[in-house]
Amino acid sequence: MNFAAIFIVLLSTFTHGNIDKVQFEISRVGLQFIPFDSNDLLTTENDANTIMRCVAQCVKNIACRTVNFDPSINQCSLFTSWSFEGIFYPSSSKSQIGYIIQQPVFYTSYLQPCILSFNSINRYLQCVNDTWICPNQYFFNGSVCEYWRSFNQLCRTDEWCDSSKYLTCSTFSNTCQCNSSMLWNGSQCISGQYRSNLVLSIKSHPFLFLACPSGQIGVTFNDIPTPIIIPSGYGGFQWSNMNACTLYSDQRACNTNLNSTSFTRMNGTFTLNTLVVYVYSSSVNVTFTGINTGTILYNTTYTTPNTYIWTYTFNWVNIDTIIVESSPQPQTPIVGIDDVCVTI
């Protein structure tokens, strides 16, 4: 950041005979700190009449990472957020921000033994089961403890994702996603379904979100970068003639200029419970065929009008392959599927 003046303050506090050195940077005048999460405000105090005294208050509070000092009202705000977990916003007052510079050296004790009765105080780690680990709502990224990541952010394991929002790490996209029985509502994963057996116009209902009931596995295609061919193994299936595509910010699987597509379970059989079909051309017949080891067990055809969405209920058991065929022969991809709910 471009500060008019930047300087370092070294402060020391004694923790069971060990010196805890805290390195701060101070912003230029005219900036205020706004955390991404408003719950990160620890406390607001009115007895610090300088930015240095405000920083000193932060050093005394082991959970503090960033401070905001507003001299116009003599207010010192302490935050649990690191400076990069918020924004430095221009202020009309002469406010300043002080923040700890995060460094890997803070975490050299990670996974090392600790004793609760003696050395359990640490500004950056917590002692749990006699071992130093990251604080609650943080994960270790290999060098430092980071705050949990949110929806669609990169991850390596489930521990990286915000479990309070019911997020887990997708093994395909390596991003934090809801599980198959939940939907992202903009702030967290929620249970429930938005389903209909009625025809829905794409213009009035541009995409249909479907969460699979508990006990079912959902294939939503939401974590696949577009446009690519649906990779083998995605969702546990082998996909044929299907690409990941996007319409109205919703991702789904579309046929690749062919009238026949299919998906096959790579290991064993499954029950097809429901799926959503999108049609982009007028008077299209869509035929679904359920197969087990080459034998047709189920077959049904639906005639769909132009640019509509259908949610179809099948409950087809003991199948290993679903074939989706459209007629007449399309010139462009006109059929897409999404929100496939199966039982394994």
Q: Provide the H-helix boundaries in 244-284.
A: none
For the chain, give the mean pLDDT: 80
The b/e string for 309-334 (b: 16+ C-beta within 10 A; e otherwise) is: bbbbebebeebbbbbbbbeeebeebb
Domain contains 73: yes
pLDDT for position 12? 38
Do 124 and 93 lie in one domain? The reply is no
Please count the structural domains in the chain: 3
Q: In this structure, what CATH number is given to the domain that contains residue 15?
A: 3.50.4.10
Who wins on pLDDT, 206 or 303? 303
End-to-end CA distance of the chain: 52
Pairing of strands 8-15, 217-219: unpaired
Domain contains 284: yes
Domain contains 194: no
Range of the domain at 239: 200-343
Do 23 and 128 lie in one domain? The reply is no
Domain contains 283: yes
Do 214 and 317 lie in one domain? The reply is yes
What's the pLDDT band for 118 if we cut at 50, 70, 90? low
Give 213: exposed, middle or buried? Use CB within 10 Å, 0-12, 13-18, 19+. Answer: middle
Query: What contacts 77, CB < 8 A, 6 or more positions away?
Result: 33, 41, 43, 44, 45, 67, 68, 69, 70
Domain contains 177: no
Do 34 and 122 lie in one domain? The reply is no
pLDDT digits (tens, 9 = 90+) for 174-196: 888 887 667 777 778 876 544 44
pLDDT for position 299? 95
Residue 19 pLDDT greater than 80, yes or no = no
Measured between alpha carbons, how far is 61 from 80 in angstroms, rounded to an integer?
A: 10
Residue 83 pLDDT greater than 80, yes or no = yes
Domain contains 166: no
pLDDT digits (tens, 9 = 90+) for 264-288: 999 899 999 988 888 776 677 889 9
Do 258 and 123 lie in one domain? The reply is no
Do 113 and 96 lie in one domain? The reply is no
Residue 88 β-bridge partners: 33
Q: What secondary structure does DSSP assign to 16-63, as a single string? A: TTEEEEEEEEEPPTTEEEEESSGGGEEEEES---SHHHHHHHHHHSTT
Q: Are 213 and 181 in contact (CB under 8 A)?
A: yes
Query: What contacts 220, CB < 8 A, 6 or more positions away?
Result: 180, 210, 251, 338, 339, 340
